[in-house]
Amino acid sequence: MSAVIAQELDAVQGRIGKLTLNAESTLNSLTLEMVDLLQAQLDTWADDDNIAAVFIDGAGEKAFCAGGDVQALHASAVGTPGGPCEYAESFFEREYRMNYTLHRYSKPIICWGHGIVMGGGLGVMAGCSHRIVTERTRIAMPEITIALFPDVGGSWFLNHMPGSAGEFLALTGASINAADALYTGLADRFIGSEHKEAVLNQLLAQQWSGQADSDHAQVRHVLRPFSEKSLSACPAGQVEPHMATINALCDGDDVHEIIDNITGQQTNDPWLAKARDGLAHGSKLAACWIHRQLWETRHASLREVFQSELQLGTNVVRHPEFAEGVRALLIDKDRKPQWHFAGSHEVPQDLLDSFFQSPWDVNPLSDLS
């Protein structure tokens, strides 16, 4: 069975391409094979006049996609400690190309973001033009826990969130729901999960013109009634009610003060407390590069974002902090990572600087247009 199931479904006029991430046992975690299959099919359908729109979902009811295959990245990192990690670096390059393709796709792409949507899964959803979340959607970018950073375009969509919400979510790995996704701009529609088949049937009942603008409008026309009838099922959000606190916590003179603000808060609020603990137990070296990456890309174009993320990602997987984070959380599962630094104040400036220096003469994504 293919890791990505590709189907061409006949509509009243035209066709809809359907892509299903098909690795249910691993919560549809992205592998390099899946990335390549997605890229190839997207490229094929982009040039096929019969395909009017694309619908992307995940197999099963638990997850759209729980992220990238981090254990494979770990194996690549420990296989060549301190040096080039061929698999990991190739994975990042090809994954980011696929993400960029999604963002730039002219035809409508409808993403059914049901269940867990994390890391690389959020990268797929964020790039789609019509992003649907449900009552069971659970989103996070928990890279702080494994000494990575919110990549797959995270430097773009986190920087475009209201206030300091993006930085707070990046530093804490806090989990958010459908209402939060709508508020922060990660999703476009809330639709109850029971309507999925009806949504797809309605999409197939349309007469597609093959003109991108009118076909995007047609998708909105189809989705709007389902969104309206689902309003009462949308869960209460966490981000918007906490925005004053989030903005205050992230209002520091430097990253160290922001970290101290978040980890030092005395709160009985369960969501804020869990966010605090996520940062407290995470890599402080990673917190430093997460903060700097967001700052350095705050005015960057989408193309520049992916180029900078590839540079940082390549340098990160070559450093042992990442391998230790994955070991503690996913390999040995002792949840006792031996981080290099107990606090962010201990991180040497020259070490942090090294993660933002190009490891190549030419960035492998320099050809993005």
- Residues catalogued as catalytic: 68, 120, 143, 151
pLDDT at 225 over 90: yes
Query: Residue 364: inside a domain, yes or no?
Result: no
In angstroms, the CA 180 to CA 186 distance is: 8
Which residues form the domain of 343? Answer: 4-354
CATH number at residue 221: 3.90.226.10
pLDDT of 27-63, one tens digit each?
999 999 999 999 999 999 999 999 999 999 999 999 9
Query: What are 229-247's pLDDT values in tens digits?
Result: 999 999 999 999 999 999 9
Q: How many domains does the chain have?
A: 1
Query: Does residue 264 lie within any of the structural domains?
Result: yes
Does residue 152 lie within any of the structural domains? yes
Q: What is the pLDDT of residues 195-216, one digit of tens each?
A: 999 999 999 999 999 999 999 9
Give a yes or no: residue 296 inside a domain: yes
| Residue 82: pLDDT over 90 | no
Closest CA to 294 of 158, 191, 153, 188: 158
Residue entry with tokens 């690549």: 76
Q: Is residue 154 part of a domain?
A: yes
Structural domain contains residue 209: yes
Evaluate whether residue 361 is within a structural domain. Answer: no
Specify the 3-state DSSP secondary structure of 133.
strand
pLDDT average, residue stretch 283-298? 98
What are the CA-CA distances from residue 22 to residues 6, 94, 183 (Å)?
10, 19, 29
CB atoms closer than 10 angstroms to residue 360: 12
Q: Among candidates 329, 310, 307, 333, which has minimal Cα distance to 88? A: 310
Residue 5: pLDDT band with limits 50, 70, 90: very high
Examine the pLDDT at 270 and tell me if it is beyond 90.
yes
Residue 359 lies in a domain: no
Q: What is the pTM of this model?
A: 0.96
For residue 91, name the pLDDT band (cuts at 50, 70, 90): very high
Q: Hey, what are 80's tokens? A: 């060549």
3-class DSSP assignment, residue 57: strand
